[in-house]
Structure 1
Amino acid sequence: MTQTVTTNKPVTQVQSQTQTQSKGQRIGILGGTFNPPHIGHLMIADQVFEQLDLDKILFIPDANPPHVDEKGAIAVEHRMEMVRRAIINHRDFDLCLIEAQRGGISYTFDTIRQLKKLHPENQYYFIIGGDMVEYLPKWHKIDELVQMVQFVGVCRKGYEQNSTYPIIWVNMPTTEVSSTWIRQTIQTHGSVRYFVPDLVQQYIDEKGLYLDDCND
């Protein structure tokens, strides 16, 4: 059950408030550790926003990611601030603190259930990379989750556009930039200019982030 969309239009400026949307909106959700947020996150959000003609993209930093190999991300307060700075010039991108405020392990099921309770009139589109689609069967309460939210898969080279779950596929040029590479580069005093927004790099420099280790 797949659908591919291929359009290409531009985007603009921001609010970094959270859950206030008007009635009946189509809301994209980009969740993750954002450790740190980088241009790849912004490119994905922009393309999904435009190609699916959404009203808003919510960036949702997790409190504790539910990974089997537990990641030691830096404090969520730092990650929230970096996301806020990353999207500050995008009117249709918002920072949502729902997982940070809830605390604990950040299961997508709990987040969507909470959002739908707050705004039952909205339609939600959860954005994942094409490489993550094959892991959907392992997600917490996935069979219930797919009844609550529309998954959007961002195509990645080397991964098939195929799933037993209903996925809307979005095509876009891929980039190999990753938060892991950025952290490792910062630790070795390399340049990450243009890989993260200027305001994010300024914050990383001000706080001395990622200099001690390369953990997620």
Structure 2
Amino acid sequence: MKRLAVKTLIEKSVQDMPQLSSSRKKKRVGILGGTFNPPHLGHLIIAEEVADQLGLDKVLFIPDSTPPHVDHKAAASAAKRKAMVELSIAGNPRFELNTCELDRGGISYTYDTLQELRLRHPDWEYYFIIGGDMVAYLPKWHKINELVKLVHLVGVARSGYPKKSNYPILWVDVPLIEISSTDIRWRIQHGCSLKYLVLDSVIDYIRKEGLYRV
């Protein structure tokens, strides 16, 4: 299907969502949250594809403080994860770092983040981007029934995961690039190349700071 036709179908799906206004007068803002431990090219590709296909004005990259839905893992400090996100999105005027969850501290609940963002920018319309692997966990999310009234949930297809949910999901197809922060940390520990998986500036930062060696 041609990209123009895809955009038409996506915009129609957004307009059909009853919970939220889809007024084109509002600034359309995507949200990509995560630990970013470290951020990689997969994150950037997803953000760019969703922004392009949905016609978003910008995408906020929001590193979490303490993620509620992942197993405990050794993570770089908040300051270093923030620095790596800044390096990753530099040069793309549509990408922007937002530190509201780092500033707030504690467990990072999406509902609380959306409440804060809507208070600061009530004229923005929000699109929260999640991977297809996370869609199955939506019933366990904090105040999920209230959350879906505040934001459009944008599902990014992942191989091996069905594109279905009991919640309103706006599905966007992006290139299936199997890059994960877990794999990158493993590569660092085993001395493997990160070329073409992480931006060179981030690779240099990881080496300089000695991150993920143990």
Q: Same fold (TM over 0.5)?
A: yes
Q: What is the distance in 2 between the residues matched to 1:178 and 1:107?
A: 22
Residue 130 of structure 1: CA displacement? 0.9
Tell me the secondary structure at the aligned position of residue 147 of structure 1. Answer: coil
Aligned 8 A contact 1:154 1:169 in 2: yes
Select 1:92's aligned residue among 91, 94, 104: 94
Residue in 2 that maps onto 1:138: 140
- Structure 2 residue identity aligned to 1:110: D
2:110 aligned with 1:108:
yes
The verdict on how the C-alpha distance between 1:45 and 1:68 changes in structure 2, with shifts beyond 3 A counting, is closer
Q: What is the distance in 2 between the residues matched to 1:42 and 1:6?
A: 20
Q: What is the distance in 2 between the residues matched to 1:37 and 1:206?
A: 16
Q: What is the distance in 1 between the residues matched to 2:156 and 2:71?
A: 24
Which stretch of structure 1 is more off in the superposition, 191-200 or 67-76? 67-76
Q: Which runs of 5+ in 1 are unaligned?
A: 8-22
- Structure 1 residue identity aligned to 2:51: F
**TM-score (ref. length: structure 2):** 0.87
Residue in 2 that maps onto 1:38: 40
Structure with the bigger percentage of helix = 2
Residue in 2 that maps onto 1:82: 84
Residue in 1 that maps onto 2:129: 127
Q: What is the distance in 2 between the residues matched to 1:176 and 1:70?
A: 22
Residue in 2 that maps onto 1:183: 185
Residue in 2 that maps onto 1:62: 64
- Structure 1 residue identity aligned to 2:82: M
Residue 176 of structure 1: CA displacement? 1.1
Across the two proteins, how many residue pairs are aligned to each other?
193
Tell me the secondary structure at the aligned position of residue 79 of structure 2. Answer: helix
Q: Which runs of 5+ in 2 are unaligned?
A: 8-24
Tell me the secondary structure at the aligned position of residue 200 of structure 1. Answer: helix
**TM-score (ref. length: structure 1):** 0.86
Q: What is the distance in 2 between the residues matched to 1:102 and 1:95?
A: 15
- Structure 2 residue identity aligned to 1:6: V
Q: What is the distance in 2 between the residues matched to 1:67 and 1:29?
A: 17
Report percent identity of matched pairs. Answer: 56
Aligned 8 A contact 1:130 1:155 in 2: yes
2:158 aligned with 1:156:
yes
Stretches of 4+ aligned residues off by more than 4 angstroms: none
The verdict on how the C-alpha distance between 1:156 and 1:192 changes in structure 2, with shifts beyond 3 A counting, is same
Which structure carries more relative contact order (alpha carbon 8 Å, separation 6+)?
Answer: 1
